[in-house]
Structure 1
Amino acid sequence: MRVFVAIEISSDKIIDSISKFQSEININAKSIEPHNLHFTLQFLGEISKDMLDHVSRALDSVKFSKFSVNLKNIGVFPTQKFPRIIWVGTDENGGKLLVELAKKVENALTPLGFTVDKPFKPHITVFRIKNRIGDISKEMDKFKLIDFGIQQISGFKLKQSVLSSKGPTYTDLMEVKAIS
């Protein structure tokens, strides 16, 4: 099964703000469904049922306290001239706490053979761009100071991802709650 570790966006205000942004920006891209908005702390890929038990136990050992993240600003991977992903970012302090949590997840999973190919950058993917659409700098500039609101981070989930032509379907496999 194809799995990843994620923090879901649960604030209706934030989901509504992101949906509004997705409907207002004028680009040719596939928007991410509101119920699928999340931070990916670590993508694990295909794992066996046996490995799932080990991963669950390892993730259960991760301890962290609740914190808040202000979702604000937008950006693009890799560049605005050749965009593939449009994302929502975070405030500096919330971003730092997300990086620390991602590092705890990584440290828990490393003994099981999971590695990360690039450093965690706190972001929520809001659009995927399949075809070349050219430079979107002007359109992005219209929204560069946008503030989507504050999300409380009180847990993370191990999720299964099933891909189809209609898009991914995510299923919760387990949840780890903050200690406070």
Structure 2
Amino acid sequence: MTRLFTALEIPSNVAMHLSLLKGGLPGARWIDPENYHVTLRFIGDIDGRTADEVAHALDRVYRPPFKLTLSGLDCFVSGKTPHSLYARVEPTPSVLELQAEHERILQRIGLPAEGRRYIPHVTIARLRGASSADVARWLAMHGDFRGPSFEVDRFVLFSSRNSVGGGPYLVEEAYPLAA
């Protein structure tokens, strides 16, 4: 079985800006900058034949390059417990349409629909045992974060090992966006 997802890569200069946010939050496991990305569609664990079908189907995506901007920080919560910190990605029509196209393609080849609403983001830390108060203080100190805009000229099909999250990720296929 192969665990796959589609994503946008984060350029090294933007990753450096994000990495400067590390620290000051007990219970945070910070993601390594080389593993920062914007997930478009989590696919999950699939067999080799389906993985080949996914890789082939994504080759049909034809979209122009576009710009993305990271603006602000937030956290995802399960129940009342914060579980990850992330940088918000401004939800431009380009990124939302690209994600929706991935969703349609993957459903067309028989994969189940993603059950969660899509929120474009870059996870910067996983939280275990971090108190809501500590997370709120950290966000208050850093929440006005704004990263440099960057050009998106491709998306990738990543594989990952079955783990708690945060990498390492391997680019299985890269799909250039057409001008």
Q: Same fold (TM over 0.5)?
A: yes
Where structure 2 has 5 or more consecutive residues not aligned to the other structure, the ranges are: none
Normalised by the size of structure 1, how large is the TM-score?
Answer: 0.89
Secondary structure class of the residue paired with 1:21: coil
Q: Is the 8 A contact 1:3 1:46 kept in 2?
A: yes
Gaps of 5+ in 1: none
* Structure 1 residue matching 2:149: 3-state secondary structure: strand
**Structure 1's 69 and 132: CA in aligned 2 closer, same or farther, altered over 3 A?**
same
Other-structure match for 2:104: 107
Matched residue SS, 2:148: strand
Distance in 1 of aligned mates of 2:41 and 2:59: 15
Alignment correspondent of 2:131: 133
Q: Residues 19 and 132 from structure 1, CA distance in 2 versus in 1: closer, same or farther, beyond 3 angstroms?
A: closer
SS at match of 1:147: coil
Is contact 1:71–1:151 with CA below 8 Å preserved after alignment? no
- The superposition leaves residues 95-129 of structure 1 with CA deviations (integer Å, 9 ceiling, x where unpaired) of x3211110011111111122211121110000001
SS of 1:18 mapped into structure 2: helix
Query: How many Å apart are 1:2 and its aligned residue?
Result: 0.8
Mean CA deviation greater in 106-115 or 160-169: 160-169
Looking at structure 2, the residues matched to 98 and 50 of structure 1 have their Cα atoms a distance apart, in angstroms, of 28
Instruction: Indicate the RMSD between aligned Cα atoms, in angstroms.
Output: 2.0
What is the TM-score normalised by the length of structure 2?
Answer: 0.90
Name 1:4's counterpart in structure 2. 5
Q: Name the CA distance, whole Å, in 1 between partners of 2:99 and 2:90.
A: 16
Question: Which amino acid in the other structure matches residue 163 of structure 1?
Answer: N
Aligned residues: 176
Instruction: Give, in angstroms, the shift of residue 82 of structure 1.
Output: 2.5
